[in-house]
Structure 1
């Protein structure tokens, strides 16, 4: 069993249900601009953890006190997350602040995401 399969299995076994919300394609607003299209929702399983005080200090204020670290395993049915997306975990919606794919040898084995509560 490879590293990708181990991580995916761990997230599936220990994770929690979440929804990745991907914005729809922009549509003309009739005034020369665009409005966001209808978002699509993708059911995913994630593992979440808090950032340590050391990580917050190391990144010089780029990580807010209530930011959450989210690990999402890639699959064939879910688009890769971007900073344009949102994610709903346990009824709370978060904005995606940062996405760092872990991709040894060019194959993404997990997405390490920094998310912040929307609102």
Structure 2
């Protein structure tokens, strides 16, 4: 997806100004217990910088049907993030645990600039 330069600038400013520490938790590889059952592997934590989008924007998206009540839109900086988040991951912001319901990779020339996520409980 090609990013509008104005939107890129806005996203960078939002993350810089309102960003807070977050952690993307990637589930570990499951192992077989020898009886055909999977044992979840140890999750890996990836520190990130996240900005939660203003509640008024979230409400506007809820009215158009792109967000469910209780969902939040979050911008994640790619700076220093060695993975590309997906819906199998979880997001921690402060002490709150969020389920990632969708991730949009926003990039120019194939290089990701940030991730636009919708997260819920």
Shared topology, TM-score over 0.5?
yes
CA contact under 8 A between 1:11 and 1:46: conserved in structure 2? yes
Number of aligned residue pairs: give it.
Answer: 113
The aligned counterpart of 1:73 is 77
* 1:53 and 2:59 correspond: yes
Pairwise CA RMSD: 2.4
Name the SS of the counterpart of 2:112 in structure 1: coil
Query: 5+ unaligned residues in a row in structure 1: which ranges?
Result: none
Query: What is the TM-score with the length of structure 2 in the denominator?
Result: 0.78
Query: What is the TM-score with the length of structure 1 in the denominator?
Result: 0.79
Q: Return the alpha-carbon distance in structure 2 between the equivalents of residues 24 and 43 of structure 1.
A: 16
Structure 2 matches for 1:1-119, cutoff 5 A? 7-8=11-12, 11-49=15-53, 50=55, 51-59=57-65, 63-117=67-121
Call closer, same or farther: CA 1:52–1:70 in 2, change over 3 Å: closer
Query: 5+ unaligned residues in a row in structure 2: which ranges?
Result: none
Q: Return the alpha-carbon distance in structure 2 between the equivalents of residues 25 and 39 of structure 1.
A: 8
Deviation at 1:77, TM superposition (A): 4.2
Q: Return the alpha-carbon distance in structure 2 between the equivalents of residues 76 and 5 of structure 1.
A: 18
